[in-house]
Amino acid sequence: MKNIKAIGLILLALLTGLAAAVYAAGWISKQGGIASNKVVVAAVDIELGSRVNPQMLTTIDWPSGSVPNGAFSDIKALDERVVKVGVLRGEAVIEGKLAPVGTQGGLSAVIASGKRAMTVRVNDVVGVAGFALPGNYVDVMVNAQQDKGRGEEALQISKTVLEKVLVLAVAQEANRDDTKPKVVSAVTLELSLEDSEKLDLARSVGTLSLVLRNQMDKTTVATDGITKGQLFGAKELVQVAATAPAPAPARPRAHRPGPAATPASQCVEIIQHAGSSLTCF
């Protein structure tokens, strides 16, 4: 009896294993039959602004159902094209990562349409201790003397003049893959034409500072700037004239009637017998 049970368990295990092997073989055969297309990928890391040549590229089989939009199947179609973003080794090279046909290599290929590139001089402090790297976003602050009217004292003010400005390059490097801080003497920013004019005026009237911001933060905050008096909590003094108690109104003097005027006496001169006499009434 015991032998029958053991034989039954052995047969059940053999059938289960056979079924699993058949299922695995069928799954592998299906995977091998998946349709694929040739897709051009980077054979080496390609830095932004670089001109592509065939030595930088290779082709691999890519499942047909997941081919990226804008992918290429022929390496020759990418000859002399310029990448506007960095492409890592093994990453598909698609149209969205390339500058328009005919674009020359270099930093000009990285500038977005309608934007301008402008370089400002910085030092290790202004450059956020070297942490303002290509691909980061910064705000630009200016410290200058505020214009006043004639006879008024000029106030020193610090104000943010530009927000969320893209750093295109630091010194002569535009590689966005490096995360190590670099102390440089100049930073190139991507600006609109109007913002370029603001930055040009700001650097001529005062001292510029860069303020590093979160790359995902798109909030803009309009401020009035801050003056030295506001920084140290000083309040403007208002001159107020001292209010002395008003003098009491003078009392009118009572009119004291003087002695009644004696009416002038009327006198008559009487001449009688060679003599005269004065008689008054």
Mean pLDDT lowest among 12-16, 96-100, 180-184, 201-205 = 180-184
Residue 172 included in any domain: yes
Domain boundary among 52, 77, 104: 104
Residue 260 lies in a domain: no
Within a domain: 239: no
* Domain span including residue 45: 36-104
Separation CA 160–CA 36 (nearest Å): 54
In terms of domains, do 130 and 63 share one? Answer: no
Q: Is 155:228 a contact under the CB 8 Å cutoff?
A: yes
pTM of the model: 0.59
Asked, for residue 128, whether it belongs to a domain, the answer is yes
- pLDDT tens digits, one per residue of 182-239: 778 889 999 999 999 999 999 998 888 888 888 888 888 888 888 888 888 865 444 4
pLDDT tens, residue by residue, 135-163 = 889 999 998 887 776 656 678 889 999 99
For the chain, how many structural domains are there in total?
2
The CATH number given to whatever domain includes residue 50 is: 3.90.1210.10
If asked whether residues 215 and 123 sit together in one domain, one would say yes
Instruction: Answer with the one of 104, 126, 143 that is the final residue of a domain.
Output: 104
Q: Is the pLDDT of residue 278 over 70?
A: no
Nearest alpha-carbon partner for 50 in 121, 98, 118, 115: 98
Q: Which residue has the higher pLDDT, 84 or 259?
A: 84
Residues 6+ apart with CB under 8 A from 262: none
Query: Which pLDDT belongs to residue 264?
Result: 52
